[in-house]
């Protein structure tokens, strides 16, 4: 079952009719040189029509029990015809990373596929998006569904990143706010959770402040009303003057016209 030329196990066994020697098909008919006209072993003349595939030798070869080439690590023994199938599962076979990162490793070293490969696909546990392993850390820094802590000291709430702005603006008890009466003159500020206490402590001050605001508003309204009345009086006088002027002009026109008729 050994090639008479390469001394390896026969691959696609060929046999010469005249001398009966066996060769690999590729050894007997190399593609990079001229084909021989005689047996390379004993120089017996032959032609291609007298060289044939040795099916018997092929069957014998395929039925021969062999060890896995990865022995002694792999202890598999089996017929040669089943060796290619064994290679698909042999834990000691060197394989390429299925994700295409270029790494080669023993099939038994599954940690590379599960943890080490930068090109393996992973699922974000927060948004269920699928990313390359090497990109996951960058994604998590901005994932809208990832949990984040409220930045306000004392607040222990953890919310989704996309909800953080709403939490701070509408819910966080530690968010510092100006007093709702700031436009009325209160300069106080406190955490949202202490607003009730602020109103309680400043109730008298707020009452006086609101009263002053109402007084100022009343004065402004009275002043505005007076100005509107003055404008209205001015408009009435202007209207009266215009009316009188028009009446005088009409009277003058009528008088002039009558005089012309009499003349």
Tally of domains in the chain: 3
Sign of torsion over alpha carbons 154, 160, 162, 167: negative
pLDDT band at 33 (very low <50, low <70, confident <90, very high): low
pLDDT digits (tens, 9 = 90+) for 163-182: 999 999 999 999 999 998 88
On whether both 3 and 58 belong to a single domain, the answer is yes
Residue 42: closest CA among 67, 65, 24, 21: 21
pLDDT band at 261 (very low <50, low <70, confident <90, very high): low
pLDDT digits (tens, 9 = 90+) for 34-67: 667 778 788 888 777 788 888 888 888 888 888 8
Region class of 154: left (phi > 0), else alpha (psi between -120 and 50), else beta: left
Residue 98 belongs to some domain of the structure: no
Question: Residue 42 maps to which CATH number?
Answer: 3.30.40.10
Residue 70 belongs to some domain of the structure: no
Let me know: does 160 contact 143? Beta carbons within 8 Å.
Answer: no
Please report, for residues 131, 132, 150, 160, the alpha-carbon distance to residue 137 in angstroms, rounded to integers and kept in the order given.
Answer: 10, 10, 21, 17
Quote the pLDDT of residue 222: 86
Q: What is the bridge-based pairing of β-strands 189-191 and 176-178?
A: antiparallel
Q: What is the dihedral of CA 181, 183, 184, 190, to 10 degrees?
A: 30
Domain that holds residue 1: 1-63
C-alpha span between 119 and 100 (Å, rounded): 7
Let me know: does 174 contact 191? Beta carbons within 8 Å.
Answer: yes
Residue 101 belongs to some domain of the structure: no
Residue 134 scores a pLDDT above 80: yes
C-alpha span between 167 and 176 (Å, rounded): 13
């Amino acid at each position: 079952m050994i090639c008479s030329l390469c001394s390896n196990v026969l691959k696609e066994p060929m046999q010469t009719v005249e001398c009966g020697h066996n060769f690999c098909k590729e050894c007997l008919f190399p593609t990079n040189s001229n084909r021989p006209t005689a047996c390379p072993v004993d120089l017996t003349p032959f032609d291609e029509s007298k060289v044939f595939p040795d099916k018997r030798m092929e069957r014998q070869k395929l039925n021969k029990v062999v060890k896995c080439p990865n022995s002694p690590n792999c202890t598999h023994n089996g017929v040669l015809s089943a060796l290619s199938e064994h290679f698909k599962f042999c834990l000691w076979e060197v394989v390429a990373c299925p994700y295409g990162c270029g790494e080669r490793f023993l099939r038994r070293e599954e940690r590379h596929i599960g943890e080490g490969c930068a090109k393996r696909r992973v699922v974000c546990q927060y948004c269920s998006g699928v990313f390359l392993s090497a990109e996951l850390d960058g994604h998590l820094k901005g994932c809208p569904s990832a949990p984040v802590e409220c930045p306000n000291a004392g607040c222990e709430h953890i919310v989704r990143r996309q909800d953080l702005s709403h939490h701070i603006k509408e819910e966080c008890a530690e968010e510092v706010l100006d007093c709702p009466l700031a436009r009325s003159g209160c300069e106080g500020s406190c955490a949202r959770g202490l607003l009730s206490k602020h109103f309680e402590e400043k109730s008298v001050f707020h009452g006086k402040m609101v009263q002053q605001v109402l007084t100022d508003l009343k004065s402004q309204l009275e002043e505005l009303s007076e100005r509107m009345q003055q404008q209205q009086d001015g408009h009435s006088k202007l209207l009266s003057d215009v009316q009188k002027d028009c009446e005088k002009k009409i009277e003058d026109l009528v008088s002039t016209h009558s005089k012309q008729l009499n003349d």
